[in-house]
Amino acid sequence: MPSTFNNRLRQIILLLVIVLLAILLLNQLFVFLPGFLGAITLYILLRNSFNYLTIRKRWRKTGTAVLFILGSLVIIALPLYFSIRLISSELSILLNNSAELVADARLVGQKIYELTGVQLMTDENILTFQKQAATIIPSLLNSSASILSNFAVMFFLLYFMLVNGREIEKFLDRFIPLKEENIDMLSQETRNMIRANAIGIPVLAIIQGVVATIGYWIFGVKDFALWGFLTGVFSMVPIVGSALIWAPLCIYLFAIDKTGKAIGLLLYAALLISNIDYVVRLTLLRKFMDVHPVITVFGVIVGLGLFGFWGVIFGPLLISYFVILIRIYMNEFGKPAGSSQ
């Protein structure tokens, strides 16, 4: 008995040390969480192709991993780099003409006041806006540095995940305390959700951004490329989405007495920009987007607060895990059908 007690005590102490070290490490490395989540996302998307080339075609793992990383860099990093360059230069031009920007804001505020009786653009609000606008470029540069460091972490981890993927998966299979059928269910759900959100949501954002940019150009919106880019970004925000950009632009055109263009842009946005995602979901992305919209909406709301940009992918995954773990619990520990009470 004393020997058993001592073993239990040593086990508890060791587990406590492991948990405390894990908390300490996570606290220090939390800033790199987006890179870690990005590596998991890319690994799941690339896993089948990598295994096909290295197992069936007998390609070398190291060379294939490097090739996949270079391909991912071209597909992900280059568009992101040019997007940051675009938005930085456009914002610099806007902020250098702050007097014109304030005058436009006053015009919009006056028009809203005439229509609704609500005074939005007070001197205090405009002063607050100017102070916040002055911090945009520095914060954008800081976020660029964070993005670069997380990209480095992401591709560093991805290399080892690809090369040692089968060993990692075997270890996880032994570590997860579930029946094999439930582990399969969990991994299948993970693959489905990541494919749906990692491929589907960015594609929808790009298409909405392109459609919006064309509309802004047609109806004479200044800096149409910047507003089109922002429309694509904000299309990922649940419920309101792209309307956060095109609705104020319609009000602005109306405020500067371009009523015809304002009405035209409003109709274009309501009919095309807001509905193009439904068309794309039902056509191009039908096999990727087989996820209930409630899971996507609430998942993105939760995920953006927890994980930043990667919350678009991992937020819905958390909601899905919550639902599927309840099913697994019932499967693992629920009473068999027909059993006595």
Section 258-283 average pLDDT: 84
Digit-coded pLDDT (tens) for 171-185:
877 777 777 777 777
Residue 159, pLDDT score: 94
Section 34-54 average pLDDT: 87
Section 70-89 average pLDDT: 78
Residue 122, pLDDT score: 64
More confident residue, 43 or 100: 43
Residue 160, pLDDT score: 93
pLDDT bucket at 97, cuts 50 / 70 / 90: low
Digit-coded pLDDT (tens) for 178-210:
777 777 777 787 777 777 777 777 888 888 999
pLDDT at 131 over 90: no
Instruction: Name the residue ranges covered by the structural domains of the chain.
Output: 31-175, 176-334
Digit-coded pLDDT (tens) for 216-254:
999 988 878 888 988 988 887 767 778 888 888 888 888
Average pLDDT, the chain: 78
The answer to whether 46 and 192 are in contact (CB under 8 A) is: no
Question: Token digits for 88?
Answer: 């930085």
Q: Return the percentage of the chain with pLDDT > 70, whole number.
A: 74
pLDDT at 42 over 80: yes
Query: Picking from 132-146, 251-265, 310-324, which range would have the lowest pLDDT averaged per residue?
Result: 132-146
Of 287, 132, 285, 308, residue with least CA distance to 236:
308
What interhelical angle do 136-163 and 165-175 show, nearest 10?
A: 90
pLDDT at 300 over 60: yes
pLDDT at 290 over 70: no
pLDDT at 337 over 50: no
Digit-coded pLDDT (tens) for 47-72:
889 999 998 888 999 999 999 999 98
3-state secondary structure the chain: CHHHHHHHHHHHHHHHHHHHHHHHHHHHHHHHHHHHHHHHHHHHHHHHHHHHHHHHCCCCHHHHHHHHHHHHHHHHHHHHHHHHHHHHHHHHHHHHCHHHHHHHHHHHHHHHHHHHCCCCCCHHHHHHHHHHHHCHHHHHHHHHHHHHHHHHHHHHHHHHHHHCHHHHHHHHHHHCCCCHHHHHHHHHHHHHHHHHHHHHHHHHHHHHHHHHHHHHHHCCCCCHHHHHHHHHHHCCCCCCCCHHHHHHHHHHHHHCCCHHHHHHHHHHHHHHHCCHHHHHHHCCCCCCCCCCHHHHHHHHHHHHHHHHHHHHHHHHHHHHHHHHHHHHHHHHHCCCCCCCC
pLDDT bucket at 34, cuts 50 / 70 / 90: confident
More confident residue, 175 or 260: 260
Query: Picking from 33-42, 180-189, 268-277, which range would have the lowest pLDDT averaged per residue?
Result: 180-189
pLDDT at 334 over 70: no
The answer to whether 39 and 314 are in contact (CB under 8 A) is: no
The model's pTM is: 0.73
pLDDT at 341 over 60: no
pLDDT at 93 over 90: no
